[in-house]
Every structure is written in structure tokens, then in C-alpha cells.
Amino acid sequence: MKEKFTKKWNDFYAVHSHFYDQTRWLYLFGRNNICDWLPKDPPGPIIEIGCGTGFNLTSLAARFPDKEIIGVDATIPMLDKARKRISRNGYAGRISLQQCFYGKDTIHCLDNNGTNVKPGVLFFSYALTLMPDYEYVIEQAYKDLCPKGYIAVVDFVETKFKLVHDWFKWHQVQMNEDIIHKLEKRFPDYNLKTSLVFGGLWKYCIFVGKKAE
């Protein structure tokens, strides 16, 4: 599954990475707001799963100057774009990137002694709806987080319009309100906001949940 998934997305983003940033702002809402929902001093490093072109990484680095920021993605084309964005914005020494199939590969997040440490924030920006095994990913995120760590999610929820649903499906997006229910169940200490866009064409959510001790 890992190899098939990675090949599919490498092939997809080999094309789409070239115009991703020029088009996704039209419908990836909430990315500029979710950082405001995080605590001022999370308990550990911040890792974005499915970091794409690095849009969120530079914002996270600016907001949390004392935290280690790591971006992981399964696709080489998107990591190449992220690397260029990070360098262009002067964060080459602050943000590290890793190619990773989350849940299957190990993310290297090392302290000064070379010991792998648990993150304080796992950040998913329009990534869970791209993952067919999102329930497993949510469980894995809970296990990976340090005590009192946070999961932060901004993503699509649902649409009542078949044409919209089919268009997003063509872009590999699975709109599924069940994702919210699974997040609420696993992280009962949470804040949630859902919003309709374009007169109700679809709904997206911002979810930040805290892991118990």
C-alpha cells in the first residue's frame, strides 16, 4: 500500500506542484487562522504531516521561533517546492524536511543527545481527507504525541452538491464528516469551528485537540 500510495502522489504532484500555490488559495480556507488556535508554548517540537509546498511551515516558524519545526511529506515534488520556499523566506536553518509515509515510516525528531522525542504538535492541513486510512492516522497521531500535546487539523468536511463532491474527488479528496467524529472521540478536550464557504458549496473545519497526560 505504501509504495502504491507514494507513487500515485508523486505522479500527481509532479504535475500539480508547479501551480499548487497559485490555485489552492482559492479553496484551502482556514490555513491562515489555525496557528492562532495553538498555545503560545507547545510542549515539544512541531511536525506538519503532509506539509506540501511548505505554506504552513514558514508561518509556524515565525510564530514559534523557539520550537523545532519539521515538515514531512510522502512526495518528492512537494518537498522540493517546500525546500525552495523555506530557503526563500530565510528559514533554511530553522525548518527541516523529511520524506515520510506517516504511520509507516519513522519521523526523526532528535534532541541534543540524539534521542527521538515526541512532538508537542502534529499539524494536518488539508491532509486527512487525502488519506484513505484517516482513522488509523488519527490513532497514530494520538500515540505519537507527547503528554498534553496537540493535534491541529484544518480540512474539508462535506458538501451537499454532487458536482462539487466529484470535483474534489478528482483531486483525490474524500470529503467525510466522520473525520470530525473520530477526532472528537480520540481528543475529547478540543476546540472546533466549522464554516460554510461560497454560499454553502462546502464546509470546512478547524479542530485543535489536546492529548491527556
Task: Identify the pLDDT of residue 101.
Answer: 87
Q: Is the pLDDT of residue 212 over 80?
A: yes
Task: Identify the pLDDT of residue 184.
Answer: 97
Domain spans in the chain, listed from the N-terminal domain onward: 2-210
**12-66, pLDDT tens digit by residue?**
655 555 566 656 666 789 988 898 899 999 999 999 999 999 999 999 999 999 9
CA distance 21 to 206: 20
CA distance 194 to 206: 6
CA distance 99 to 72: 6
**73-97, pLDDT tens digit by residue?**
988 888 999 999 999 999 998 999 9
Find the mean pLDDT for residues 172-182. 91
Q: Is the pLDDT of residue 4 over 70?
A: no
CA distance 208 to 5: 27
**Secondary structure percentages of the chain, helix, strand, coil, to 5:** 40, 25, 40
CATH 3.40.50.11720 fits 2-210, yes or no: no
- Residue 8's pLDDT band (boundaries 50, 70, 90)? low
Q: Is the pLDDT of residue 161 over 70?
A: yes
Cβ-based neighbour number of residue 146 at 10 Å: 17
Q: Identify the H or E element spanning 62.
A: helix 55-63
Question: 135: which strand partners?
Answer: none
Q: CA distances (Å), 91 to each of 58, 84, 95, in order? A: 7, 10, 6
CA distance 69 to 46: 5
Task: Identify the pLDDT of residue 27.
Answer: 72
Least trusted range by pLDDT, from 102-116, 169-183, 194-208: 102-116
Query: What predicted TM-score, i.e. pTM, was given to this entire model?
Result: 0.91
Q: Identify the H or E element spanning 79.
A: helix 76-88
CA distance 14 to 17: 6
Report the percentage of the chain scoring pLDDT > 90. 62
